[in-house]
């Protein structure tokens, strides 16, 4: 590895059947993409060298997205447009790179600064959701945030408990026949969209079935110096 290295941040989209590919398999996929693309990626030292790559807020299985990110350390650089072109030449249907930026020298890793994500929730056509259930869930969106507490049953690695999730919901709105939600994410507090959908079902008095809903992430955000939640793409500059 050369003495001088550069950190780049890559924005990509994931959809189609690849929504069922787990995080570790996706990471291995990108490692192979970098090898096939022939870019000058940096490797760790030691007996088992690996590409210096870290992902921000990995998606749950079954969720699609157009706002995913990971950081990679490079020994040398080409332009952002060239990166996008040569990476996408190696892609398969369902995954593609949207942009590449160069990070400042002391930039924190994407995984450590994630603060929020927003989503669009639609009703899964494959499951033929009953119209009455759909109408009740959509109606619940209009007044869920008026409640003093929004309690759901959450299961963690250590225990199971009832938790008030209201403080993690920044926005909850109807958009035609879909639901828009802007939620806390990251290490401080991570609220999954599934929990909000479950709360909506509880409020509507209908049974929650995860497979009735399609979850699509729009963007991943961090908190800038002014305290504003902005896209992770704003942490660096495009490479000319």
Give the pLDDT confidence score for residue 127 in this predicted structure: 60
Show me where the domains of the chain are located. 6-112, 114-223
- Altogether, the residues listed in the chain come to a count of 240
Structural class in CATH, domain 6-112: alpha beta
Same fold across 6-112 and 114-223: yes
At 188, list the tokens: 């401080």
Judge residue 110's burial from the number of C-beta atoms within 10 Å of its C-beta, 0-12 exposed, 13-18 middle, 19 or more buried: buried
Question: Can you tell me the distance from the alpha carbon of 173 to that of 179, in angstroms, rounded to the nearest whole number?
Answer: 6
Pick the closest to residue 36 from 80, 84, 91 (CA basis).
91
Residue 7's contacts (CB-CB under 8 Å, 6 or more residues apart) are 71, 72, 73, 74, 102, 103, 107
**For residues 131 and 177, is the Cβ–Cβ distance under 8 A?**
no
Helix (H) or strand (E) holding 10: strand 6-14
Pairing of strands 64-74, 213-223: parallel
Question: Can you tell me the distance from the alpha carbon of 42 to that of 25, in angstroms, rounded to the nearest whole number?
Answer: 20
Per-residue confidence of the chain (240 residues) as pLDDT tens digits? 446 899 999 999 999 888 999 999 999 999 999 999 999 999 988 888 889 999 998 899 999 999 999 999 999 999 999 999 999 999 999 999 999 999 998 899 999 999 999 999 999 876 667 888 899 999 999 999 999 999 998 777 777 889 999 999 999 999 988 999 999 999 899 999 999 999 999 999 999 998 899 999 999 999 999 999 999 999 999 999
The CATH number that domain 114-223 falls under is: 3.30.70
Look up the pTM and report it: 0.92
Q: Which residue has the tokens 């249907």?
A: 93
């Amino acid at each position: 590895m050369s003495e001088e290295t550069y950190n780049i941040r890559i924005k990509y989209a994931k959809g189609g059947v690849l929504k069922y590919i787990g995080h570790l398999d996706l990471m291995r996929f990108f490692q192979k993409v970098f090898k096939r693309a022939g870019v000058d990626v940096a490797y760790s030292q030691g007996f088992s060298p690996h590409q210096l790559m870290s992902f921000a807020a990995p998606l749950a299985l079954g969720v699609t997205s157009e706002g995913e990110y990971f950081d990679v350390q490079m020994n040398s650089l080409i332009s952002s447009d060239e990166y996008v072109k040569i990476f996408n030449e190696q892609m398969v249907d369902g995954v593609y790179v949207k942009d590449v930026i160069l990070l400042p020298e002391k930039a924190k890793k994407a995984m450590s600064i994630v603060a929020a994500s927003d989503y669009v929730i639609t009703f899964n056509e494959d499951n033929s959701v009953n119209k009455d259930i759909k109408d009740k869930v959509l109606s619940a969106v209009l007044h869920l945030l008026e409640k003093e507490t929004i309690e759901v049953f959450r299961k963690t690695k250590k225990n199971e408990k009832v938790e008030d999730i209201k403080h993690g919901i920044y926005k909850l709105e109807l958009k035609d026949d879909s639901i828009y939600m802007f939620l806390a994410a990251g290490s401080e507090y991570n609220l999954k969209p599934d929990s909000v959908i479950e709360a909506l079902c509880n409020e509507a008095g209908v049974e929650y079935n995860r497979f009735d809903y399609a979850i699509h992430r729009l963007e991943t955000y961090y908190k800038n110096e002014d305290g504003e939640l902005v896209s992770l793409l704003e942490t660096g500059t495009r490479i000319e």
